[in-house]
């Protein structure tokens, strides 16, 4: 059963890596009108992404202990998809509020990054350890599986960075790209859940 879904899990890990970096890259674009485009903007964004990914890894690992399933895995994606949407929908009022209350653009940008990216990135960070749990069958191959997962998700991150910055910003509005990432992640989650429901039925026919 797992073999059949292994490919999907790798693809989902790839896609989450792709989306994380795509969103991180757009973060600079989103914050610039309120907090400028100086180096501290990237300091804020990268700090928040690293911090929330670290929490996400911890949470994802913890969640993977109790009865791991592809359905729960898909739910993480669905949740992430929902958490990404406010970036497109409410960034303006959130940043305007912070801008008027925080004079120093370093702390303003740090607060704004936190408000916009902290929660969705935590959820996206949960995906990596959960993927390891779903794929590892024996301890002998655990390192190899983890290595393979890091490979696909980091490769996804690299591609997400370059495709977003080279091509997508030329073709689409920032919000359209963000909503695109959210829908993509959400659809993958639904697909994982659907596949889990289908494969569960399999033993009945076997």
Partner 1 sequence: MRKLTVRCLLLVGVTLFSNASIAKVIHSERSLYRNILVEETGDLRCLKFDEKTRQSSQSCMYKSKPKKLVFNYTKLTFASLLMIDNPKNVLIIGLGGGTLSNVIHELYPQATIKNVEIDPAVIKVARDYFDFKESEKVTSKVQDGRIFIKRAALKKQTFDWIILDAFNGDYIPEHLLTKEFFEEIKSVLAEGGIVAANTFSSSKLYEHESATYHAVFGDFINVTTAKKSNRIILAGFNKAPTKEHLTERVKKLAPLLAPYSIDIDAVSKGMRSTKNNQDWPSDTKVLTDQYSPANLLNF
Q: How far is the CB of 16 from partner 1 (least distance, A)?
A: 25
The length of the chain is 206
Does 174 engage in binding with partner 1 (CB under 8 A)? yes
Does 144 engage in binding with partner 1 (CB under 8 A)? no
Does 170 engage in binding with partner 1 (CB under 8 A)? yes
Q: Which stretch binds partner 1 (CB under 8 A): 125-133, 143-151, 174-182, 183-191?
A: 174-182
Does 14 engage in binding with partner 1 (CB under 8 A)? no
Q: How far apart are CA 80 and CA 149, in angstroms?
A: 19
Q: How far apart are CA 178 and CA 164, in angstroms?
A: 10
Collapse the DSSP code of 107 into the 3-class scheme (helix H, G, I; strand E, B; otherwise coil) and give the result: helix
| Nearer Cβ to partner 1 (14/35) | 35
| Nearer Cβ to partner 1 (82/169) | 169
| Nearer Cβ to partner 1 (59/174) | 174
> Hey, which residues between 92 and 121 contact partner 1 (CB under 8 A)?
99-100, 105
Q: How far apart are CA 84 and CA 172, in angstroms?
A: 17
Q: How far apart are CA 77 and CA 186, in angstroms?
A: 6
* Selected binder of partner 1 within 46, 169, 187, 190 (CB under 8 A): 169
Q: How far apart are CA 181 and CA 123, in angstroms?
A: 14
Does 55 engage in binding with partner 1 (CB under 8 A)? no
Does 2 engage in binding with partner 1 (CB under 8 A)? no
Q: How far apart are CA 47 and CA 118, in angstroms?
A: 10
Alpha helices in the chain (DSSP H): 2-35, 39-63, 70-101, 105-125, 127-135, 142-163, 169-171, 174-205
In the complex, which residues of this chain contact partner 1 (CB under 8 A)? 29, 32-39, 99-100, 105, 166, 169-170, 172-176
């Amino acid at each position: 059963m797992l073999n059949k879904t292994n490919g999907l899990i790798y693809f989902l890990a790839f896609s989450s890596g792709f989306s994380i970096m795509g969103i991180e890259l757009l973060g600079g674009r989103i914050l610039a009108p309120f907090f400028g485009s100086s180096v501290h903007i990237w300091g804020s964004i990268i700090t928040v992404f690293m911090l929330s990914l670290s929490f996400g890894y911890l949470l994802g690992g913890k969640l993977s202990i109790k009865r791991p399933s592809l359905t729960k895995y898909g739910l993480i994606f669905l949740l992430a998809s929902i958490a990404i949407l406010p970036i497109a929908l409410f960034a303006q009022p959130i940043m305007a509020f912070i801008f008027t209350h925080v004079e120093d653009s370093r702390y303003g940008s740090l607060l704004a990054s936190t408000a916009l990216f902290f929660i969705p990135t935590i959820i996206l960070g949960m995906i990596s350890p959960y993927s390891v749990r779903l794929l590892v069958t024996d301890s002998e191959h655990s390192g190899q599986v983890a290595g393979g997962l890091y490979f696909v998700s980091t490769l996804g991150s690299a591609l997400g960075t370059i495709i977003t910055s080279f091509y997508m910003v030329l073709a689409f509005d920032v919000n359209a790209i963000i909503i695109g990432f959210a829908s993509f992640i959400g659809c993958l989650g639904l697909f994982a859940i659907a596949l889990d429901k289908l494969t569960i039925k399999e033993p009945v026919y076997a």
